[in-house]
Structure 1
Amino acid sequence: MKKIYKHSIQRLAFLFITLAIQIYIIFFIILQFKDYFLHFYIISLIIGCILVFYILNGKSNPSYKIAWIVPILILPIFGGTFYLIYGGNKLKKREKKKMKNQNKKMESSLIQSNDVMNRLGRENEYAKNQSLYILNYANCPIYENTYTEYLSPGEVKFKKLVEELKKAKHFIFLEYFIIEEGIMWNTILEILKKKVKQGVDVRVIYDDVGCVMKLPYKYENQLKRYGIKCRVFNPFVPLLTNRLNNRDHRKIAVIDGYVGFMGGINLADEYINACEKYGHWKDAAILIKGEAVFNLTVMFLTIWDFINNSDDNYLKYKPENFTHEKFLSKGYVQPFDDSPLVNEPIGETVYLNLINKAKRYIYINTPYLIIDNEMATALKIAAKSGVDVRIVTPHIPDKWFVHAVTKSYYHSFIKNNIKIYEYTPGFIHSKTFVVDDEYAVIGSINLDFRSLYLHFECGAWLYKTDSVLKLRDDFLDTLRLCQQISLEECENVKWVVKFGRTILRLFSPLL
């Protein structure tokens, strides 16, 4: 572990030094024009104004636009330069075309059962409308005949995952933002190596930025030596480029086509409290068995084929090809993905639909609370209308500046009847919504701009499943370990701290 850590530090140091050199070169070139500063400033101002009009006419979120417009107008020379290099959230045209083709294939492989959708409509027209949105924009159908089990904290998910991995006979697909050597990953890796020897098709995807400090450089080659097929999403190159913006933040495991896991739990020891980083780590995941797992399989394969330049036949991985077991469970399950390439904020809209349709309560777990005006307003309106809105955030943060932005929302939320709690034992990493004992969403989608607009994410929309009530009960149990934030506490914050939070919040879409 020490050797891995040393190599990771060296790699990260090299990357930062390389980026610092590039920034220095940019500043150096700009400073060379100091003798023509006035002319250069005017040209930069003109370019800055053009960029501002371009940003204003773009389709990105207004808060994201403001976060770029302010530095461009205040410091046109530097702000404009960095926007040209780093701004935006899109992959290259060739890559976008590849992903578009994968999405078409995904759409043709995932076919919605009209009978299921019609039954849902007869039960609840509002629920049907929410489900249709996910179907139309994420190409992900809704299912019956699916068992779900809410898993929290990470230790529970780990135990279940190990149990199911040991049963694998045909294939194992793992897609995670973070993988780190330790008790959790090493246990899983030993199972994967055994399964490869038994002829099981084992594939792993991890995000390079997520693992830059967790795994040695070119770790995929080590896995390949074990017979494990491995691909790295969007390798981190030491260049100032907007490619750094798009990360694979999903956490997906699929076993033999009919068993799946998703949620907020990565494959690293802090997620199962085998090591302590920020106090007790509270997280959540969901186990899915049955027809709905096919959505997860296709999500994985679209990313795999995108990276690998391959063309898998998705239909051969359907659940019925590997089991005849019937998974009967009340309610409906709709796993979905969210991509920055579709120009549609699917994750945010799913959350907004839940907020806007709530009648009695909205319970939210989130590690970060960095949202736009639309979602903040929707939560306030719900609370003003008599809906019991409660939000749990960490007490011990993993990033102080992000937590500072989170705290900047407390005062206005509490003034508008939203109850805010902090998880006293440590860090809450769960990303869950539960509404009115009927709806829930659990997945990898944080309430921050990167998750909602820049990252590849996934979640499961649930309607009237037993896991919805389990999620509700766990939320209420968690409140007993939390401290509620009072309005008086918010008002007693020093003005300097408030000012600092305001500045950070202005630029929060870029954090």
Structure 2
Amino acid sequence: MRVEQKTATKNSIVRLFFVVLLIALQFVWIYYLITFLESHVPWLSTVITSGALVLALTISARHMNASYRMFWIIMVLVFPVLGIPFYAIMGRRNSTKRMRVRFEKVDHMLFGRLKQQQEVMERLEKEDLRAAGTSNYLLKTCRFPVYQNTDVQFFPDAALAFEAQLKDLESAEQFIFMEYFAIERNGAFQRVLEILKRKAAQGVEIRITYDDIGSITFLDSRFTREMESYGIHCQRFNPVLPFLNIFMNNRDHRKIMVIDGKIGYTGGYNMANEYFHLTQPYGFWKDTGVRLQGDAVRTLTVICMEMWGLMSENINIERGERFLTAVPYHAKETGYVQPYADSPLDDEPTGEEVYMNILRTAKNYAWFVTPYLLITDEMKREFVGAAKRGVDVRIITPGIPDKKMVYQETRSYYAGLVRGGVRIYEYTPGFCHAKMSIADDVSATVGTINLDYRSLYLHFENGVLFHHCKIVEEIHQDFETMFSESREVTDHYRKGAQNIVQRSVRAMLRFVAPLL
């Protein structure tokens, strides 16, 4: 099996290489076709220039993030021969129309199954009106209910979450849903697979969704056939194809496991060895996760069904009703739990809005940890605005990068933030992949959503919002531990200790940040 996996990995990397090469060749062909026509049709240059101006004005009027608008306007005006076709392929909303229609159809069938218990929201509003504001946004705008009657367990290390998942998988009787950005066939996942094969033989329905790009260095298309041979339903999300296609840019970055609709797991970690310290390519890999048991698992189940339906040939909601049957449970926890998801197809920046609400409502402190820091001007203003109000605002980023270019991009944001009063820490033991926030010992989030353009605008993501739960105290302690293991770089970047070369490189990286 190890030899087969090495072959599969090699084949996948070769496939990715040829896909990138063919897409690049398509851009080159478009560029040379237009330049050739320009040289042979004298009036074409005037048409292109006029078209670029009209398109730039059209983009400026679009309801989209200001950084995205600026990027496309500059591309179209400065490099019209490349910018116009590039925008036509990558920038237009209608370029994903087919998937948007399908997404809306699936959500219309599924999200009606999520009902808000009014007494829960009323209790939250009476107990904490500020916290209820964010929950009302997730409910009224995004259709994600807030729950009580849910016990929560926090894992400060993904390896601890993984061991708990193995135990819970053994208890599965009806179904297991797994949705992960990356799955590595050998190592840790092998332990999961042995349980899944036994459960499939016992009649448990198992569905695995994995992202083709996220897993491309680990798996090839034979993985789905292997899973099906064990009686495990499996599908790749958004297979990489050698054609210019904007939807290829939208990846499934979610990480969820649901067992019988009773137990749910999520967090920042994938099903790959580095998350569980079986390999250490970038020092100690820090990641976190949560386990939910009770009513709130229903939303995680719907999120998994949403993605399965989006990529399936057809979706039979009536057949899926058994996955949404209420499971009696009496929780010890009295706090509020609200799982939510984000999609690039609905034009609602759910993940960003939750983070910004955390900053807007914080009174004493608001702390964040993210592996990548590539934020919009709007979010930067929220960070700085909270700090100027006297809120203790801190951000932890990795001390050892996994992607050097993105690491330089991350550091390019430090100076503007620290001059506004934000404190920046770098996690020295290694790469910190956790995605969490916490404010005032009241509210916290754990999930898959990075503070970068891809997570906030281009990827399918998920998270969980907590109010007045015991887990908030545990997350606070985990932040304190991370601070003690990190170096604070606030003063260094407040002084602007960057040479002209660093500033120039980072300025260029900031320009292309919306595509990173």
Q: What TM-score comes out, normalization by structure 2 length?
A: 0.95
What secondary structure is seen at the aligned counterpart in 2 of 1:257? coil
- How far apart in 2 are the matches of 1:398 and 1:88? 31
- How far apart in 2 are the matches of 1:90 and 1:417? 41
Q: Which residue in the other structure is 2:230 paired with? A: 226
CA 1:327–1:9 in 2, change beyond 3 Å: closer, same or farther? same
Q: CA deviation at 1:265?
A: 0.6
CA 1:127–1:508 in 2, change beyond 3 Å: closer, same or farther? same
- How far apart in 2 are the matches of 1:257 and 1:325? 11
Q: CA deviation at 1:319?
A: 6.0
Q: Which residue in the other structure is 2:322 paired with? A: 316
Mapped contact 1:250–1:456 kept (Cα < 8 A):
yes
Q: Which residue in the other structure is 1:475 paired with? A: 479
Q: CA deviation at 1:111?
A: 0.5
What secondary structure is seen at the aligned counterpart in 1 of 2:43? helix
Q: CA deviation at 1:37?
A: 7.2
CA 1:428–1:213 in 2, change beyond 3 Å: closer, same or farther? same
Q: CA deviation at 1:39?
A: 3.2
Q: Which residue in the other structure is 1:195 paired with? A: 199
Q: Which residue in the other structure is 1:294 paired with? A: 298
Which residue identity does 1:419 align to in structure 2? R
Q: CA deviation at 1:21?
A: 2.4
Matches within 5 A, 1:90-489: 92-308=96-312, 309-313=314-318, 314-318=320-324, 320-321=326-327, 324-489=328-493
Q: Which residue in the other structure is 1:68 paired with? A: 72
Quick one: which of 503, 506, 515 aligns to 1:501?
506
Which residue identity does 2:316 align to in structure 1? D
Q: CA deviation at 1:98?
A: 2.0
Q: CA deviation at 1:218?
A: 4.0
Which residue identity does 2:323 align to in structure 1? Y
Q: Which residue in the other structure is 2:18 paired with? A: 14
* Deviation larger for 480-489 or 89-98: 89-98
Q: CA deviation at 1:280?
A: 1.2
CA 1:88–1:431 in 2, change beyond 3 Å: closer, same or farther? farther
Cα shift readout 1:459-494 (whole Å, capped 9, x = no counterpart):
101001111111110010011111110433552211
What secondary structure is seen at the aligned counterpart in 2 of 1:336? strand
Mapped contact 2:173–2:204 kept (Cα < 8 A):
yes
Q: CA deviation at 1:38?
A: 5.6
- How far apart in 2 are the matches of 1:505 and 1:37? 37
- How far apart in 2 are the matches of 1:209 and 1:458? 18
Mapped contact 1:90–1:341 kept (Cα < 8 A):
no
Which residue identity does 1:311 align to in structure 2? N
What secondary structure is seen at the aligned counterpart in 1 of 2:207? strand
**Paired residues, number:** 509
Cα shift readout 1:137-177 (whole Å, capped 9, x = no counterpart):
22111111101111122111111111111111111000011
- How far apart in 2 are the matches of 1:378 and 1:257? 37
2:6 aligned with 1:2, yes or no? yes
2:82 aligned with 1:78, yes or no? yes
Cα shift readout 1:189-228 (whole Å, capped 9, x = no counterpart):
1111111011111000111121222202342112111110
- How far apart in 2 are the matches of 1:301 and 1:196? 19
* Deviation larger for 34-43 or 127-136: 34-43
CA 1:90–1:487 in 2, change beyond 3 Å: closer, same or farther? farther
Cα shift readout 1:368-396 (whole Å, capped 9, x = no counterpart):
11111111111111111111111100111
Aligned-pair Cα RMSD in Å: 1.6
CA 1:88–1:155 in 2, change beyond 3 Å: closer, same or farther? farther
What secondary structure is seen at the aligned counterpart in 1 of 2:285? strand
- How far apart in 2 are the matches of 1:363 and 1:61? 24
CA 1:37–1:187 in 2, change beyond 3 Å: closer, same or farther? farther
What secondary structure is seen at the aligned counterpart in 2 of 1:167? coil
